[in-house]
Amino acid sequence: MNDTDYDIRDLKLADQGKNRIEWALQEMPVLRELTTRFSKTQPLKGIRMSGCLHITTETANLARTLKAAGAKLVLCASNPLSTQDDVAAALVKHYAIPVYAIRGETTDTYYQHINAALDHQPVITMDDGADLVSEIHKHRTELLPTMMGGTEETTTGVIRLRAMAKDGALRFPVIAVNDAMTKHLFDNRYGTGQSTLDGVIRATNILIAGKTLTIIGYGWCGRGIAMRAKGHGANVIIIEVEPLRALEAAMDGYRVMTLLEAARQSDFIITATGDKHVIDQAHLDVMKDGCVLANSGHFNVEINIPALEAMSISKHRPRPSVDEYTLNDGRKLRLLAEGRLVNLAAAEGHPSAVMDMSFANQVLCAIHLVSQPQKLENQVHNVPAEIDQEVARLKLDAMNIQIDSLTKEQQSYLSSWQEGT
Ligand SMILES: NC(=O)c1ccc[n+]([C@@H]2O[C@H](COP(=O)([O-])OP(=O)(O)OC[C@H]3O[C@@H](n4cnc5c(N)ncnc54)[C@H](O)[C@@H]3O)[C@@H](O)[C@H]2O)c1
């Protein structure tokens, strides 16, 4: 590979990255199975793909599976702060997969890297946040005629894509991998749950037990974070705008109230909504001295950071992922990871075992896109149910869990309406 074919921090980090990628692979039995299967059948042979994903050990293993299936793949980062530089180096040096990603890159470099990945002329995109799809539609329309489709990893990306499809603006089909059951039920809940707490703890090393911890958003991510925070002994408060989800949180045993009320008593506040400025000036105004703020939603807009900056008289960095703001009334507020996904910026992202299922969906959906006799409609498509079932079956096999199946009598009973009391 030429050194113009990649842009990473330091190739010398490659051996450390390789060790960590191999370590993660031990927890990814479904991807291992798909690699064995598809290295023989080569369903992606010669397919040009660009992936805009968090450059982590798990993504490296996804990339290896896609390459083994025959894809010609390049990668760029889906967030300026989530890249693991040793993984990027290992992908280039040990697995010959071009990567354009440097942890801490500026927004300009971030977009240069997205464009470098698009210079590869993909026919399939794999996004986490829809940045490739969005860039192709805005500035790289020359790629549209040859596009076969894309896949999308996260809730926020799916929301953006559905908005494009609704406006008739989407010019190629995209599969919403996030919406597969074997993705969001596990990745968003158990993955974000564990890794968000991991990020907060690594960043601060503050004891969670006995503290008041507020979570904004009781979706799949919020539920997972709440469950894990409760396990750590926190007094958990949930903030929601959806009545059903607020009710569910209340019946799950959490306190539910408005953010204005919670802000006054919280030691930690974590956002997981996919929404903008959910923590706004009015909430910052009443927060308790010392409150820790973190975000686990996709973009760094959930906390109104410009407002926080404007009301501060100074800011310093006591620990690597902590910015302590001193406000003009003397209170201190601590922002983690510059408001970016705390689980990826201050920890290592989701555990491999959960990404195993998300990325198995990615592989099977990419194959689904290229194996259609006719291009799918230019819409956001659900993951086919057979793929979801297949991923669940493979994961259960790998976990050595056997389950029962319906008898003939039960199948007929469950599909009939005649039988009653
Ligand atoms: N950190 C990660 O690694 C990771 C992993 C998966 C998803 N995500 C991201 O996390 C975010 C949430 O994902 P999800 O799957 O939980 O979504 P979801 O749609 O299941 O849940 C989001 C919840 O936030 C609530 N909400 C929206 N605006 C709000 C507001 N102003 N105040 C209170 N509640 C509000 C919604 O009602 C909804 O219940 C998305 O941005 C997604 O892309 C991050």
Distance, in Å, from the CA atom of 49 to the CA atom of 62, rounded to the nearest integer, reads 13
Instruction: Enter the tokens of residue 335.
Output: 């922002």
pLDDT at 307 over 80: yes
Q: Are 225 and 296 in contact (CB under 8 A)?
A: yes
**Ligand 1 centre distance from Cα of residue 105 (Å):** 25
Query: What pLDDT is attached to residue 349?
Result: 93
**Ligand 1 centre distance from Cα of residue 172 (Å):** 26
Distance, in Å, from the CA atom of 208 to the CA atom of 169, rounded to the nearest integer, reads 46
Burial group, residue 323, by CB count within 10 angstroms (0-12, 13-18, 19+)? buried
**Contact 272 CB / ligand 1 (< 6 Å):** yes
pLDDT at 317 over 80: yes
**Contact 44 CB / ligand 1 (< 6 Å):** no
pLDDT at 104 over 90: yes
Query: What pLDDT is attached to residue 375?
Result: 87
For ligand 1, what atom is nearest to the CA of residue 349?
A: 3
Cα 195 to Cα 25, 172, 295: the distances in Å are 18, 33, 12
Q: 0.85 cut: is pTM over it?
A: yes
Query: What pLDDT is attached to residue 2?
Result: 84
Query: What pLDDT is attached to residue 15?
Result: 98
Distance, in Å, from the CA atom of 74 to the CA atom of 124, rounded to the nearest integer, reads 11
Query: What pLDDT is attached to residue 420?
Result: 78
Strand partners, 268: 213, 292
- Cβ neighbours of 67 (radius 10 Å): 19
**Ligand 1 centre distance from Cα of residue 238 (Å):** 13
**What integer is the mean pLDDT of 6-19?**
98
Which of 1-5, 148-152, 167-171, 385-389 shows the lowest per-residue confidence on average (mean pLDDT)? 1-5
The string of pLDDT tens digits covering residues 194-242 is 999 999 999 999 999 999 999 999 999 999 999 999 999 999 999 999 9
Q: Which residue among 82, 152, 154 has the greatest number of ligand 1 atoms within 8 angstroms of its CB, and so is best to mutate?
A: 154
% of residues, the chain, pLDDT over 90 = 97
Q: Residue of the nearest CA to atom 35 in ligand 1?
A: 217
Q: Residue of the nearest CA to atom 39 in ligand 1?
A: 219
pLDDT at 3 over 90: no
Q: What angle do CA 240, 246, 252 make, to 5 degrees?
A: 125
- Cβ neighbours of 401 (radius 10 Å): 8
Q: Residue of the nearest CA to atom 25 in ligand 1?
A: 217
**Contact 17 CB / ligand 1 (< 6 Å):** no
Query: What pLDDT is attached to residue 418?
Result: 85
Query: What pLDDT is attached to residue 40?
Result: 97
**Ligand 1 centre distance from Cα of residue 342 (Å):** 14
Query: What pLDDT is attached to residue 223?
Result: 98
What is the overall mean pLDDT for the chain? 97
**Contact 242 CB / ligand 1 (< 6 Å):** yes
Query: What pLDDT is attached to residue 397?
Result: 97
Q: Are 296 and 241 in contact (CB under 8 A)?
A: no
Ordered DSSP codes for 312-335: EEEEEEEETTEEEEEETTS-EEEE
Query: What pLDDT is attached to residue 4?
Result: 82
**Contact 219 CB / ligand 1 (< 6 Å):** yes
**Ligand 1 centre distance from Cα of residue 120 (Å):** 32
**What integer is the mean pLDDT of 356-373?**
97
Q: What angle do CA 23, 29, 31 make, to 5 degrees?
A: 95
The string of pLDDT tens digits covering residues 244-296 is 999 999 999 999 999 999 999 999 999 999 999 999 999 999 999 999 999 99
**Contact 100 CB / ligand 1 (< 6 Å):** no
**Contact 220 CB / ligand 1 (< 6 Å):** yes
The three-state DSSP-derived secondary structure of 112-135 is HHHHHHHHCCCCEEEECCCHHHHH
Query: What pLDDT is attached to residue 384?
Result: 97
pLDDT at 421 over 80: no
Q: Using DSSP, state whether 52 is helix, strand or coil.
A: strand
The string of pLDDT tens digits covering residues 323-354 is 999 999 999 999 999 999 999 999 999 999 99
**Contact 56 CB / ligand 1 (< 6 Å):** no
b/e code 406-418 from CB counts within 10 Å (16+ = b): eeeeeeeeeeeee
**What integer is the mean pLDDT of 58-72?**
98
